[in-house]
Structure 1
């Protein structure tokens, strides 16, 4: 657009400054998030320099643009998706605020739209009530917030909750557990069964074990008692001696079970795809 464009009313407009006219124009394009060619400009003042070329005052330009009249189907679809996501975000935040208020928890919620859906961070001022024992409360809130959010018409969105950096800390703990158990399994040749975990935590275990040579993992059982088995690629073989009572007892024991209590389970409806480590940490929750 020409520099001498009239300052007529437009959908969006403003005055921008810079160390050059071009810099001021680029600031306008960054602010409007559209190409320079789609913006109308009018130069209000060029850069003024003093002695030795020192800038006394910056360049000032007026910039404005109107939404295109011929929007097209692609533009309208993008706008529709944006409106749906915003509506779902507001619904999610409102629901969480009401639940936390009923729980008597003073917390601030930072919520945003991300590529995989909606992410909300709950700052509970150091209170563990939002997280609960091994994340049980946080997992429950996440599940319920997902249900409520997706009652809004539109594409399914994934809701992820965190509080005080718990998710990252829990992930590191589970990775350490998987590595420790894997080393024991490799040395003993005997499988180890972990206590029931939710899909998110099982995927962390599977993903970690997949990177360790000599061991493998799989999930067994039905929800809410589905659990991970870590096994050796070279399992130890036992003889079939009948006269050794101790040997017979050990053989019948089966895989050892690790006493590790875990987080919220009962509301996950058999999300078997968690055994695919490429599925992402949060799978779709069927309504």
Structure 2
């Protein structure tokens, strides 16, 4: 397969973009770094990272079959040499029987000394090691009108600094109680950025503005050109492809780092699949989703 050229804000972002475009996992990606990127402010003045990538040729490894030698019952047990026991010495035989009885009594006494409390401790330990249930989401506060005005003013100020004065900003409260802000205008790809990095940065800053304006927690969702819905569909398709890969190869797959919103999409997409399980590993901003095969016991 020929190489494709992918550019992004950072090298990790370029690798992730290549994974999505090629619909492969990180262990099946072959790439060459052409140029490393440098940071900018909200996507302005930055230098893109560039790589060339292609899909690796899959090699399906077959598990070797292990032949278990058949052992006959005659081979499993050694023949008891009863012919060597002399019948002329019944006293010795009786002594052996007494010894066996004494040994059995010792074993019975050991069984009586066994304390069931150890099992209880073991059960308690297993309960402690069980995975902790995810915390419930924070209840959202009612969004006040002054908060909406402050968020819209902040966005207009940022757009003005970026020479994007023809953008229209509209706000409404969605079904979850979050403040949903949509931007309409020309050249909105600049606001989205690679994999939505610029849009996510602006959304984070707007959230900070909203939560300084009032008490309680306010969630702000920023969108343009229906990017959030399109990105969700892409991640859901990626999650299904990853799940099929895990079930086919029986190997755990670790995805590229994602933000909490995108990780929730992956978890939700594979929640109903009984063949795989998902969990997150690492620290922000490098926290990633890991997809594991569920083995039947």
Q: TM-score, normalising length from structure 2? A: 0.50
Matched, 1:129 2:198: no
Q: What is the alpha-carbon distance in structure 1 between the residues aligned to residue 276 and residue 173 of structure 2?
A: 38
**Matched residue, 1:225:** 286
**Matched residue, 1:190:** 251
**Do 1:221 and 1:227's aligned partners in 2 also have CA atoms closer than 8 Å?**
yes
SS of 2:217's equivalent in the other structure is coil
SS of 1:171's equivalent in the other structure is helix
- 1:150 offset after TM fit, Å? 1.3
SS of 1:151's equivalent in the other structure is helix
1:132-180 deviation line (CA, Å, top 9, x unaligned): 1100011111110010111113222110111000000000000000000
**Do 1:218 and 1:230's aligned partners in 2 also have CA atoms closer than 8 Å?**
yes
Matched, 1:205 2:258: no
1:69-107 deviation line (CA, Å, top 9, x unaligned): xxxxxxxxxxxx87x610100000000010111112231
**Matched residue, 1:91:** 150
Larger radius of gyration: 2
SS of 1:150's equivalent in the other structure is helix
Q: What is the alpha-carbon distance in structure 1 between the residues aligned to residue 169 and residue 219 of structure 2?
A: 17
| 1:104 alignment partner, one of 130, 141, 163 | 163
**Do 1:85 and 1:113's aligned partners in 2 also have CA atoms closer than 8 Å?**
no
**Matched residue, 2:295:** 234
**Do 1:191 and 1:229's aligned partners in 2 also have CA atoms closer than 8 Å?**
yes
| 1:1-287 map, 5 Å | 85-105=144-164, 106-114=166-174, 115-234=176-295
**Do 1:130 and 1:138's aligned partners in 2 also have CA atoms closer than 8 Å?**
yes
SS of 2:189's equivalent in the other structure is coil
How many pairs does the alignment contain?
154
SS of 2:171's equivalent in the other structure is strand
- Structure with higher helix content: 2
1:219-267 deviation line (CA, Å, top 9, x unaligned): 00111110010111129xxxxxxxxxxxxxxxxxxxxxxxxxxxxxxxx
**Matched residue, 1:19:** none
**Do 2:188 and 2:224's aligned partners in 1 also have CA atoms closer than 8 Å?**
no
Q: What is the alpha-carbon distance in structure 1 between the residues aligned to residue 209 and residue 188 of structure 2?
A: 24
Stretches of structure 2 that go unaligned for 5 or more consecutive residues are 1-140
Q: TM-score, normalising length from structure 1? A: 0.51
- 1:211 offset after TM fit, Å? 1.7
Stretches of structure 1 that go unaligned for 5 or more consecutive residues are 1-80, 236-287
- Structure with higher strand content: 1
